Every structure is written in structure tokens, then in C-alpha cells.
Structure 1
């Protein structure tokens, strides 16, 4: 149960970070600071990295909790 709760809260933090990053990139695109191709590349890479980290979190938390609790 602690692994699930920690994973959910961490995934929410990652989701919020990625969404704010997308908003910042969209503002930069509106101000013509980045091109449309760069916008698509950066949004895609931030979503991909955020998804990979969120998927790997339960496994990492399981290892940490087993190491700390000695179960």
C-alpha cells in the first residue's frame, strides 16, 4: 500500500510538471522564441520522459521500501 500511494503522489507531481512545461513551451512559441518543430520536439520529449519516469516509479519505490524496511 505505501508503494502505491507514493507512486500515485509522485506521478501527480510529474504530471503537473509536464503540463506546466507544455504551457511554458506554448508561451515561447507564441512569442516566436521557438519554432513549431522545436515545440513539437520539446513537448514530445517531455511527455515521453515524464511517462517513462512515472512508469518506473513503482519498481523503484518497491526496492527502496524493501531496502529501508528490510522486508
Structure 2
């Protein structure tokens, strides 16, 4: 099953997250199919970037959004 979720990047105490499409069985920071955006919680300007066309494409192919990604889409 495909899932659109966050993958943690960055350094200690300053996380940065990639929004990715991955198999739900893979590890959080493991292999992924496609990177479709990013989220930087500590950056005031331009902290969310999401490719909505690719999200629609993956949803049409059966991908499921995680709770946090749904929340970020509402903010965007």
C-alpha cells in the first residue's frame, strides 16, 4: 500500500521534513518512490512546498495521506 508521508531530515533539534510517496512497509526514512515536497517547521518564510498535481496523481493511484500531510495541505 502506498502512503504519502513525512521523512525526517536535518540536524539535531532542527528538523526538516521531505514529503514523500513510499510503501507503507518501508522505514520512515528508508527508500521512497518520489519526493513531492518539503516542510521546514522552523523557517518562517516559505516553510511548506507541495506539488499538488503529483499528490492528486498518487491519490488516483491508491496512495493514502498521513494525518500530518492532510494537516499541511489544509495550511497550504
- Interval containing the TM-score (normalised by the shorter chain): under 0.3
Larger Rg, first or second structure (1 or 2): 1
User: Which structure features the higher share of helix residues?
Assistant: 1
Normalised by the length of structure 1, the TM-score is: 0.26
Normalised by the length of structure 2, the TM-score is: 0.25
User: Which structure features the higher share of strand residues?
Assistant: 2
Greater RCO (Cα-Cα under 8 Å, separation 6 or more): 1
